[in-house]
A and B are shown apart, each in its own frame.
Chain A
Amino acid sequence: MEQPSPHILIIDKSSSELDRLQLLLQDSNYSVTVHGDIQTGYKQCLASRPDLILFDVNLSFDRGSLFIRQMKKQYNDLPVPIIVVTQEAELDKRISIMEMGIDDLVIKPYYPEEIVARIHLLLQESNVPYLSSRPAQQGFSGSLKEMNLIDLIQTMELGAKSGIIYLNRGDKEGQVHIHVGKIVDAIVDDYDSIERAFLHMLTWIDGTFSVVIKDIGHDFPPVAANTQKLFIEGAKVIEQWRKETGELPALHTHLIRVESSQTPGIGNEEKLMLRQFQEPCTILQAIDRSEFEDFYALKLIKYLLEKGFLIKTEHERRRDERSSFSVNPQQLRRGIRSSKNKYSQIFSLFRRKRRHEQDMSLNLTLDENDETNLNLKSNYDEKTMNKIALTKAELLLVRQKFSN
Chain B
Amino acid sequence: MEQGQKTTVALKPGIQLQLLRYMLTGSSPSAIIDAMQAFELIPSYQFVWEKTLELGIRIKGDHFSQSDIFKRLKTSEQYKMEIGCAEPLQRCEANDCLFQNPDCLKNKLKEQIISLYRMISEYLGIEFKP
Contacts and interface: CB of A to CB of B under 8 A. Distances in A.
Direct contact between A and B judged by beta carbons closer than 8 A: yes
Interface of A: 91-92, 94-95, 97-99, 105, 107, 136, 138-142, 146-147, 151, 155, 158-159, 161, 211, 213
Interface stretch (B31-39, B57-65, B110-118): B31-39
A140 B102 contact: yes
Contact of A98 (B12, B34, B40, B103): B34
Nearest to B101: A138
A98 B32 contact: yes
B32 A138 contact: no
A159 B9 contact: no
Contacts of A140: 37-39, 98-99, 102
B100 A95 contact: no
Interface of B: 5-9, 12, 14-15, 18, 31-32, 34-40, 96, 98-103
24 contacts: A91-B35, A91-B36, A92-B12, A92-B14, A95-B15, A95-B31, A98-B34, A105-B35, A136-B103, A138-B99, A138-B102, A140-B98, A140-B102, A142-B37, A147-B9, A155-B7, A158-B5, A158-B6, A159-B6, A159-B96, A159-B99, A161-B99, A211-B99, A213-B99
A139 B35 contact: no
Contacts, number: 58
* 9 nearest A-B residue pairs (beta carbon): A98-B35, A94-B35, A95-B35, A213-B99, A155-B6, A98-B31, A99-B31, A151-B8, A140-B102
Given A138-B99, A159-B96, A213-B99, A147 B8 contact: yes
Nearest to B34: A98
Nearest to A97: B35
Contacts of A147: 7-9, 39
Contacts of B34: 98, 105
A91 B12 contact: yes
B114 to A, nearest CB: 16
Contacts of B98: 140
Contacts of A98: 31-32, 34-35
Nearest to A146: B9
